[in-house]
Amino acid sequence: MAKSWEEINARIASGDAVVLTAEEFAGLAAEDGVKAAAKKVDVVTTGTFGPMCSSGVFLNFGHSDPPIKMQTITLNDVPASGGLAAVDTYLGVTEPSLVKGIEYGGAHVIEDLLRGRAVRLKSTGPGTDCYPRTEIDTWVRLEDLNQAYFFNPRNAYQNYAVAANTGDQLIYTYLGPLLPRLGNATFCSAGALSPLLNDPTYRTIGVGTRCFVAGAAGYVAWEGTQHNPNQNRDENGVPTAPSGTIAVMADLKKASPEFFSAATFTNYGVSSFVGIGIPIPVLDEDIAATLALTDADLTATVIDYGVARRSRPALGQVTYAQLRSGSIEIEGKTVPTGPISSLPTARKVAAEVKRWVAEERFTLAPPLEQLPQPGTQAFKPLEIRSEEAI
Amino acid sequence: MARRRLDLTFPPRQATKPITYHLVKDFDLTPNILRAQIQPGQEGRMLVEVVGPREAIDAGVAFLEKEGVDVHPAASDICLDEDECVTCGLCTAVCKPGALTLDSESKALVFDKDKCVYCEACVVACPRRAITLTF
Ligand code: SF4
Ligand code: SF4
């Protein structure tokens, strides 16, 4: 029994929609069967809260008197881009402070703005006939900015690698410290709650999808960078390694520090935890079948980060249920595991999106354009070559 | 009886000397090794808690320093700032003694201070800098 987007939106608008989180839906499907669950439920909500390095904000400061064409820009000593119009900038979360290095970076500036704190803006410009000022040193708060919005080029990775280290040295990575000789393994996905794992072939998630970004209602703006629909897939069509990604936008002024947190990975760099949640319409039994998958059905690939090359060796495959149990087997060895993305906060995101849809009548938008589908697009490496060789 | 936590760094050649044997035999101290990382030919580190009369501990420390061991007071307390913690769980991946774990159902962070050996691994790992040691 198929349902249309219009039917589901009409039920949301009238307050009659049945909305469950992906975990709740899997529980219902296990009891009543996928068919009955698909019939009963209109919308399933997903959520994730993990470090997402490809995130940042566009800001517009307004003009000073006399005005300045900002060329070098720092916010709390963290450089922001001077490559846009006079008082526009983009601040990326991984940008380290000129003073404090990676202990304070772009993500920390954004978190400070979200917490209502004043941030020191320093800028220099060339001084032109129309923008005569050459220097400015002032303080700004989020409420003072004209526009402040997230544009995160790559969020909500569909699946991710499990990191381990067969080398003899402790190494520090973006997946945390990896102890030598397979001393631990870290993983970074909300598993069964993860947005793109619930819609593995991007049927309902595409350009224009309404979603939750750091507590604000935003949109999927485009495919994410490194979107790779052609990863290995299991018998359910779900990727078993990092694959699809989305670029998202949302108003920073409507976001919440509960769902955006700056992070520093020792000896690696700055990043930010971002909460992303997407409501998925239960259009038919096909999508219901993937919505009903649990951590025991979803697989990730263990990768050896002890090998510092683009192609790191795979050490096997494990399920998210095994990862969450606290240890996995790699090469016959029991290896303790730890997550990097917060399941408690992912659950909060999914519950909040459920509340939006069920109580605030947050309707769903069918994709204006689909994300690149499996089979359509190759994922290219960067070759190192000379001008003559190209 | 006094109790002191010491963070010992051994120079490469000193590493295999039976230091703890001397602390017991010559100074009548009870050393409890909380953590040791000693490999032949490399700088070694040992976290040890010694129990004994104050003067004996002082004498034991003087002996260690004479032997070329770098002696520092080790952390005496560890503090988790729950306002900063985002329950990511990364600290649990590096906490070998199992002082930091995740609740099996809620996946909330559970901190059992009694199991902590003050190794600092979680302090370095925590992306929120939510865990601090005090001396
Ligand atoms: S210092 Fe941290 S990692 Fe080390 S034992 Fe204590 S809680 Fe565990
Ligand atoms: S690593 Fe830090 S933020 Fe993450 S759970 Fe541990 S204490 Fe909390």
Q: What DSSP string runs through A38-75?
A: HHH-SEEE--EEEE-SS-EEEEE----SS-B--SEEEE
Say yes or no to pLDDT of A140 above 90.
Answer: yes
Say yes or no to pLDDT of A1 above 70.
Answer: no
Share of chain A above pLDDT 70, in %: 100
Q: Considering the domain boundaries, does residue A389 fall inside one? A: no
Say yes or no to pLDDT of A386 above 90.
Answer: no
| Distance of alpha carbon B54 from the chain centroid | 20
Handedness of CA A87, A93, A94, A99 (dihedral sign): positive
Element at A221 (helix H, strand E): strand A216-223
Q: What are phi and psi of A107, to 5 degrees?
A: -60, -40
pLDDT in tens, A307-331: 888 889 999 999 999 999 999 999 9
Cβ <8 Å between A51 and B127: yes
Same domain, B66 and B48: yes
CA angle A103, B121, A348 (to 5 degrees): 70
Q: Which atom of ligand 1 is nearest to the CA of B75?
A: 1
Same domain, B60 and B89: no
Q: Which among B24, B52, B73 is the end of a domain?
A: B73
Q: To the nearest whole angstrom, how far is the Cα of A90 from the nearest Cα of chain B?
A: 23
- B78 ligand 1 Cβ < 6 A: yes
Residues A245 and A30: their CA atoms lie apart, in Å, by: 29
pLDDT in tens, A234-254: 999 999 999 999 999 999 999
Same domain, A182 and A258: yes
Say which CATH number the domain at B23 has: 3.30.70.260
How many structural domains does chain B have?
2
Same domain, A268 and A362: yes
B111: domain range? 78-133
Catalytic amino acids of A?
130
Say yes or no to pLDDT of B77 above 90.
Answer: no
Same domain, A235 and A343: yes
Candidate of B80, B81, B86 to mutate for ligand 2, largest count of ligand atoms within 8 Å of Cβ: B86
pLDDT at B14: 63
When pLDDT is cut at 50, 70 and 90, the band that residue A387 belongs to is confident
Six-digit token string for A255: 């976001």
Residues B57 and B64: their CA atoms lie apart, in Å, by: 10
Share of chain B above pLDDT 90, in %: 45
Same domain, B23 and B68: yes
- B50 ligand 1 Cβ < 6 A: no
| Ligand 1 centroid, distance to A40 Cα (angstroms) | 47
- B91 ligand 2 Cβ < 6 A: yes
pLDDT in tens, A81-120: 999 999 999 999 999 999 999 999 999 999 999 999 999 9
Give me the helix-helix angle, A343-359 and A22-32, nearest 10°: 80
Residues A133 and A66: their CA atoms lie apart, in Å, by: 6
Q: Is this complex scored with an ipTM above 0.90? A: yes
Q: Which among B28, B48, B73 is the end of a domain?
A: B73
Same domain, B87 and B66: no
Same domain, B68 and B91: no
CB neighbours of residue A161 within 10 Å: 21
**Under a CB-based contact definition with an 8 Å cutoff, are residues B49 and B31 in contact?**
yes
Same domain, B65 and B87: no
| Ligand 2 centroid, distance to A94 Cα (angstroms) | 19
pLDDT at B17: 60
Same domain, A177 and A249: yes
CA angle A190, A194, A196 (to 5 degrees): 145
In terms of DSSP H, where are the helices of chain B? 19-25, 54-66, 121-125
Ligand nearest to the CA of A265: 2
pLDDT in tens, A283-313: 999 999 999 999 999 999 999 999 888 889 9
A362 touches chain B (CB under 8 A): no
pLDDT at A381: 86
Element at A270 (helix H, strand E): strand A269-277
Same domain, B61 and B85: no
Same domain, B67 and B83: no
Q: Which among B73, B90, B109 is the end of a domain?
A: B73
State whether residue A102 is helix, strand or coil.
Answer: strand
Say which CATH number the domain at B89 has: 3.30.70.20
pLDDT in tens, A184-213: 999 999 999 999 999 999 999 999 999 999
Average of per-residue pLDDT across B75-84? 89
> Which residues of A are less than 8 Å from B121 in CB distance?
177
A35: domain range? 5-52+151-370
Cβ <8 Å between B93 and A343: no
Say yes or no to pLDDT of A229 above 60.
Answer: yes
Same domain, A22 and A156: yes
Q: Considering the domain boundaries, does residue A109 fall inside one? A: yes
Contact residues for A311 (Cβ-Cβ < 8 A; gap 6+)? none
pLDDT in tens, A150-185: 999 999 999 999 999 999 999 999 999 999 999 999
Q: What is the CA radius of gyration of chain A?
A: 22
Same domain, A223 and A339: yes
Same domain, B8 and B50: yes
How many structural domains does chain A have?
2
> Among A208, A220, A288, A195, which Cα is nearest to A3's?
A288
Average of per-residue pLDDT across A131-149? 98
Q: Which residue has the tokens 């100074």?
A: B27
CA atoms within 13 A on the CB side of A27: 6
Same domain, A137 and A243: no
Same domain, A298 and A353: yes
**Under a CB-based contact definition with an 8 Å cutoff, are residues A187 and A319 in contact?**
no
- B111 ligand 1 Cβ < 6 A: no
Q: Considering the domain boundaries, does residue A135 fall inside one? A: yes
Q: Which residue has a Cα nearest atom 2 of ligand 1?
A: B122
pLDDT at B32: 86
Same domain, B69 and B84: no
Cis-peptide into A66, omega within 30 deg: yes
Six-digit token string for A309: 């090359």
pTM of structure: 0.90
Average of per-residue pLDDT across B112-116? 90
Same domain, B65 and B12: yes
> Among A3, A46, A10, A1, which Cα is nearest to A26's?
A46
Beta-sheet pairing, A216-223 with A210-213: antiparallel
pLDDT in tens, A2-18: 999 999 999 999 999 99
pLDDT in tens, A348-364: 999 999 999 999 999 99
pLDDT in tens, B3-38: 888 888 888 766 556 778 888 888 989 888 887 777
pLDDT at A309: 83
Same domain, B33 and B53: yes
Q: Considering the domain boundaries, does residue A132 fall inside one? A: yes
> Between the CA of residue A318 and those of A37, A105, A150, A304, what are the distances in Å?
28, 34, 34, 14
Ligand nearest to the CA of B98: 1
If you average pLDDT over every residue of chain A, what do you get?
96
